[in-house]
Amino acid sequence: MTRDDVEKKVKEITARVLKVDAEKVKLTDRFAQDLGAESIQSIELVAAFEEGFDIEMDEDEALSVTAVGAAVDYIFKVVQAQGK
């Protein structure tokens, strides 16, 4: 899985969970400030990313990621480490 694949899927999952237009999700967007995520949705996002990528993430680390681009970097690293 390439970084571009991860980026596309992160944007799709983010759009679905937060009910925003996938075309408008940018790497610079912050989940809470720019996309309106509430704390419960942050947990839903982590679960959706784990399910969508078939990975296990450290919950505290994952919840500390606040922007779409940082999520792409983090998830790409986890995907590589877990050989997905």
What's the whole-number mean pLDDT along residues 51-79? 96
Contacts of 25 by beta carbon, 8 Å cutoff, 6+ apart: 11, 14, 15, 35, 68
- Residue-level pLDDT at 68: 98
| Residues spanned by the domain of 68 | 3-81
Which are the contacts of 31, defined by CB distance < 8 A and separation ≥ 6?
Answer: 14, 18, 37, 41, 42, 45, 66, 67, 68, 71
Distance from CA of residue 57 to its chain's centroid?
Answer: 11
pTM of the predicted structure, to 2 decimals: 0.94
Q: How many domains does the chain fold into? A: 1
Q: Which two tokens stand for residue 5?
A: 């694949």
DSSP count for the chain of H helices, then E strands: 4, 0
Average pLDDT on 24-44 reads 95
State the average pLDDT over residues 63-78: 97
Residue 27: CATH number of its domain: 1.10.1200.10
